[in-house]
Amino acid sequence: MKLLEKIRVIDMTNVLSGPFATVHLSLLGAEVIKIENPDGGDLARKLGNVPNLNKDLMGTSFLAQNANKKSMTLNLKADEGKEIFRKLLKTADVVVENFRPAVMSRLGFSYDEISKINPRIIYCAISGFGQTGPDAFKPAYDQIIQGLSGVMDVNGDERLHPLRAGFPVCDTVGGLNAAFAIMAALYYREKTGEGQFIDIALLDSIMPLMGWVAANLLIGGKPPIPMGNDNFTAAPSGVFLTKDGHINIAANQQKQWEDLADELGVPELKTDPRFQERDTRKANRKLLTPLLEEKLKTKSTEHWVKVLNDKGIPTGDILDLEKALTGEQIKHRETIVDIKEPKIGNIKLFNLSAKFSKTPAKVETPPPRLSEHTEEILTRLGYTTDDLKRLKEKMVI
């Protein structure tokens, strides 16, 4: 049995935050029916760095988070499209959308209306700022939220600040938050039989991830200082130069610091009043780093990673993305798997990162072609071959 077996999700989402939420549900075994506009479908189908895939409406951005889903095209502005959608809602457990607030209401499918059709349904709306409030109707892309949330303020250093995260962190965290909330609502429904409305804001979702940094300001009264690759909680903790590149060292505990000083051959630093205590080390990190790097630059990153880790000092190489994605630990964990797409061939996709002992979950089918499952789904709803032909002629599907 799959964890979400017999759970049907109506996925109205586009691009990233919503599809990232629903791909977690599809990997867990839910039947995720992706409702797409007959005219081109999800915008992500045209996004990516492979032009031929974009033209084929299978862009890499779409492939990244739509495995195990079914694609159905439906024009919700047409009366017959609305009728089909109502029939689908009666069979569904979850609806997820990431339109701007009120879009679904204008189509006649607010949560209140949908709950009349199916009182047990869980409706999750993902938006930049939430469904209410002074900013609710403002446009919101990931970088906009990074700027408004403070994320860009805590990145970078004195040379490059503010600085965005190198991937759409707000969209992905918002999607993960939505998946978590949907699972919680399904658990509640299991106990009570009641569905409910979930309001997910990207702005709300990202801020708690800055809990430690925010607490220093909210409770300690100290705003963040752009520190680049240094860890604000401890020193020495950050990125350091070696003979042939860079290394991450996180000597966050006092013993780790003292062992590091011994391994680098600078035991005198342990009793130096500038570096003896944690807080004084933090205050004097710019004096400490060159003293450590003088020793680190005598040998390779590979050497220091082994020596320091063997001593119990958390240390690691800094890999380029290709090496990171092909590492032995990643292979062992099956974090990335191959799946065959009929026209493209083998593609590499991320598996579900949670490992369940009794209900294992994995990528089983490739991301769907646009409208690949429309006929299958409508046939199950009772539509005939003639009905399908008529609906296509009217551009309902």
Which residues are catalytic, by number?
Answer: 171
**Measuring CA to CA, which residue among 212, 100, 210 is closest to residue 165?**
210
Query: 88 φ, ψ to 5°?
Result: -65, -40
Contacts 24+ apart (CB under 8 A), 190-197: 193/120, 194/119, 194/120, 195/115, 195/118, 195/119, 195/120, 195/121, 195/122, 195/123, 196/122, 196/123, 197/111, 197/115, 197/123, 197/125
Task: In whole angstroms, give the CA distance from residue 285 to residue 145.
Answer: 32
Could you give the strand order of the β-sheet that contains 31-36, starting from the edge strand earlier in sequence?
69-73, 31-36, 8-11, 94-97, 122-127, 196-201
Residue 175 CA to residue 350 CA, distance in Å, equals 15
Distances (CA, A) of 140 to 24, 148, 169, 332: 23, 10, 13, 38
